[in-house]
């Protein structure tokens, strides 16, 4: 009889997920009725529309600021990279709210509203009388107020995207139960397809929308992305009844501070050789809501002092967390600290990637953009070849490269996440070398034919295709590997925060590009020299800038090799 009851209980347990997720009604999530690909189709649709909105507005932004707001090449490029960097910094705020209080579902929903307001304001700044800069034969003449409205719209978008970027990929991964072998394999494929739909949205943006902005008008060019963002929100809410929701685990920053304070209070105590004497809850689950227990590791031993039980604490049923922390809470902090060196080594890749929306576009502006006698392709539209590259390589990686690599490496995913990232870093170096070679050839043509004052040299812009295509290949390895790595290595109650940490590499990469461009401009324009990146690139040396990025990226890769070889992957207690 007891065995019959036990079998019934096991059968009941298998009806629900084992990772503690809930459905939208806050009941245990059904394995059959929620999650998996049935839920992810709405998340992927939402992400495709949201990325179409973002890239439709940002891809050609450097030219919008240059033409409509009369900004120089360097100023426009700096404004774009600074704003873009902010878009990847605000996710820290959104991730904190998601992990601590709101959960990923409500964070995405709330910040999407801010996003739409920003897109609407930006659209009005391009079409509304009084908000739109006046233009004549001598160019456009924006007022301070008009510039302010434009940038308020842009930074509202930056705030809105801060609640979406760190949560959507993690929310999609939440739809697969980590404790189910079949679903765990699906999760790895999810990140590939997630990045693929991002680039499908980007493809439409960099081709159709950039053409509309250049040939029809900025009002339509920004209005369509605003509508796309509204559609993204509708997509997201339609899937609500199929979603699996992770409970917010409370403030991760508070838990981190508690470990540091408790360890410092016991700085004079000795950590016992028998690590089983360190404090941990007796329950099967940890005391952090929605987080599995983590195994003790022998690194960062000073933090272990936070789990040493003193006599008064040992006799207390509910110890003060500022005096005594669990092993899981300590390992949570260790996991984040271990991620930081890998995180820092990815900033250089983000710096290279940011050149697509700045220096690649400005380089393309100096080349022949005609296809036939009548059609002219905007230089910003060349980024569609980066997108096509991702669309080409993502399924090939998932269906061909992984199974082939699995035979040689024995790894379930073909390559470990760190190996995948490293391959992408190598490919990114090649992209900068190819861009530099193209600029050398272009400048040679300028000097040989005295084309210094020509707006565009008679050299097809499609010579830029290889550098865009190679950057796309680097993305498939580095960006997707990075997303999967930070999600997989993050503690359960810090998934959004670690996803945001991953995104800040893009923010810092954009800021690093801005700083590097500022330093290069300052140094190379001293004593009356023209400099590497003047308004007339025919008289500059953009190739030197690409060589500099190549060298810095190579040095960064060597550091990354050392870091990745020393990294130990997280282990959970099942």
Domains of the chain and CATH, by start: 36-248+334-566 (1.20.1250.20), 252-325 (no CATH)
d(CA 330, CA 320): 15
Q: Please, where are the H alpha helices in 490-567?
A: 495-524, 542-566
pLDDT at position 555: 95
Q: Does residue 173 surpass a pLDDT of 70? A: yes
8 A C-beta contact, residue 459 and residue 445:
yes
pLDDT at position 3: 46
8 A C-beta contact, residue 20 and residue 8:
no
Highest mean pLDDT among 28-42, 161-175, 208-222, 542-556: 542-556
Output phi, psi for 326, to 5 deg: -80, 160
Comparing 238-252, 461-475, 546-560, the range with the smallest average pLDDT is 238-252
Q: Tokens representing 420?
A: 């995948």
Question: Looking at residues 509-527, what average pLDDT do you find?
Answer: 85
Confidence of residue 548 (pLDDT cuts 50, 70, 90): very high
8 A C-beta contact, residue 359 and residue 543:
no
Share of the chain above pLDDT 70, in %: 92
Question: Looking at residues 341-350, what average pLDDT do you find?
Answer: 91
CA angle, corner 18, sides to 257 and 187, nearest 5? 85
Confidence of residue 318 (pLDDT cuts 50, 70, 90): low
252-275, pLDDT tens digit by residue? Answer: 888 888 889 988 988 888 888 777
Q: Which tops the pLDDT comparison, 314 or 261? A: 261
Which residue, among 356, 359, 365, has the nearest Cα to 533 in the 3D structure?
359
pLDDT at position 284: 61
In sign, the C-alpha dihedral spanning 41, 481, 504, 553 is negative
Matching residue, tokens 């629900």: 16
Q: Does residue 314 surpass a pLDDT of 70? A: no
Any idea what DSSP says for residue 457? E
Query: Could you tell me how far CA 287 lies from the centroid of its own chain?
Result: 30
8 A C-beta contact, residue 461 and residue 369:
yes
22-67, pLDDT tens digit by residue? Answer: 788 888 878 778 878 888 888 888 888 888 888 888 878 888 887 8
110-140, pLDDT tens digit by residue? Answer: 999 999 999 999 898 888 887 788 777 777 7
What is the length of the chain? Answer: 574
Confidence of residue 440 (pLDDT cuts 50, 70, 90): very high
Question: Looking at residues 387-391, what average pLDDT do you find?
Answer: 85
Beta strands, E only, 384-470 = 457-460
Question: Looking at residues 420-433, what average pLDDT do you find?
Answer: 94
Which residue, among 484, 508, 469, has the nearest Cα to 421 in the 3D structure?
484
pLDDT at position 4: 45
Q: Does residue 572 surpass a pLDDT of 60? A: no
Q: How far apart are the first and last CA of the chain?
A: 28
8 A C-beta contact, residue 545 and residue 359:
yes
Parallel, antiparallel or unpaired: strands 370-371 and 375-376: antiparallel
Kindly report the three-state secondary structure assignment for every residue of 234-248.
HHHHHCHHHCCECCC
d(CA 189, CA 275): 37
Q: Does residue 6 surpass a pLDDT of 60? A: no
8 A C-beta contact, residue 436 and residue 550:
yes
Average pLDDT, the chain: 83
């Amino acid at each position: 009889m007891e065995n019959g009851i036990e079998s019934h209980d096991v059968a009941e347990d298998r009806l629900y997920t084992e990772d503690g997720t809930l459905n939208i009604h806050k009941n245990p999530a059904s394995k059959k009725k929620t999650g998996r690909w049935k839920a992810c189709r709405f998340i992927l649709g939402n992400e495709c529309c949201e990325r179409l909105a973002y890239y439709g507005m940002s891809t050609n932004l450097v030219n919008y600021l240059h033409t409509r707001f009369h900004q120089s090449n360097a100023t426009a490029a700096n404004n774009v990279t600074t704003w873009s960097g902010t878009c990847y910094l605000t996710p820290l705020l959104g991730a904190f709210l998601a992990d601590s209080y709101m959960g990923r579902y409500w964070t995405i929903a709330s910040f999407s509203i801010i996003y739409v307001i920003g897109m609407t304001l930006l659209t009005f700044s391009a079409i509304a009388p009084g908000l739109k800069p006046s233009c004549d034969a001598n160019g456009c003449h924006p007022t301070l107020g008009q510039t302010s409205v434009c940038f308020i719209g842009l930074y509202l978008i930056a705030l809105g995207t801060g609640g979406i970027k760190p949560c959507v990929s993690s929310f999609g991964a939440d739809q697969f139960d980590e404790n189910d072998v079949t679903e765990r394999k699906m999760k790895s494929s999810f990140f590939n397809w997630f990045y693929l739909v991002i680039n499908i949205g980007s493809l439409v943006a960099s081709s159709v929308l950039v053409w509309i902005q250049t040939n029809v008008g900025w009002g339509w060019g920004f209005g369509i992305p605003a509508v796309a963002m509204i559609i993204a929100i509708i997509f997201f809410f339609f899937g609500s009844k199929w979603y699996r929701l992770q409970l917010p685990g409370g403030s991760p920053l508070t838990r981190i501070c508690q470990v540091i304070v408790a360890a410092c209070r016991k700085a004079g105590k000795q950590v016992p050789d028998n690590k089983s004497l360190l404090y941990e809850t007796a329950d099967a689950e940890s005391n952090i809501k929605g987080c599995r227990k983590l195994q003790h590791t022998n690194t960062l031993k000073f933090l272990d002092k936070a789990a040493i039980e003193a006599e008064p604490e040992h006799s207390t049923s509910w110890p003060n967390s500022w005096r005594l922390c669990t092993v899981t809470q300590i390992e949570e902090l260790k996991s984040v600290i271990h991620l930081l060196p890998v995180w820092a080594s990815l900033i250089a890749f983000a710096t290279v990637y940011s050149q697509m929306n700045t220096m690649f576009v400005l380089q393309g502006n100096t080349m022949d953009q005609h296809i036939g006698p009548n059609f002219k392709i905007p230089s910003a539209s060349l980024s569609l070849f980066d997108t096509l590259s991702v669309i080409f390589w993502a399924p090939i990686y998932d269906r061909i490269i992984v199974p082939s690599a699995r035979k040689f490496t024995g790894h379930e995913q073909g390559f470990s996440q760190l190996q995948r990232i490293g391959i992408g870093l190598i490919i990114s170096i090649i992209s900068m070398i190819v861009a530099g070679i193209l600029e050398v050839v272009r400048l040679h043509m300028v000097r040989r034919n005295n084309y210094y004052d020509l707006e565009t040299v008679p050299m097809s812009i499609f010579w830029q295709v290889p550098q865009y295509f190679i950057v796309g290949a680097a993305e498939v390895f580095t960006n997707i590997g990075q997303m999967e790595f930070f999600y997989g290595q993050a503690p359960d109650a810090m998934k959004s925060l670690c996803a945001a940490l991953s995104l800040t590499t893009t923010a810092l990469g954009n800021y690093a590009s801005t700083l590097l461009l500022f330093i290069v401009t300052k140094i190379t324009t001293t004593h009356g020299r023209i400099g590497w990146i003047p308004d007339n690139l025919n008289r500059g040396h953009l190739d030197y800038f690409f060589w500099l990025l190549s060298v810095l990226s190579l040095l960064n890769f060597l550091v990354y090799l050392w870091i990745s070889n020393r990294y130990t992957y997280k282990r959970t207690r099942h």
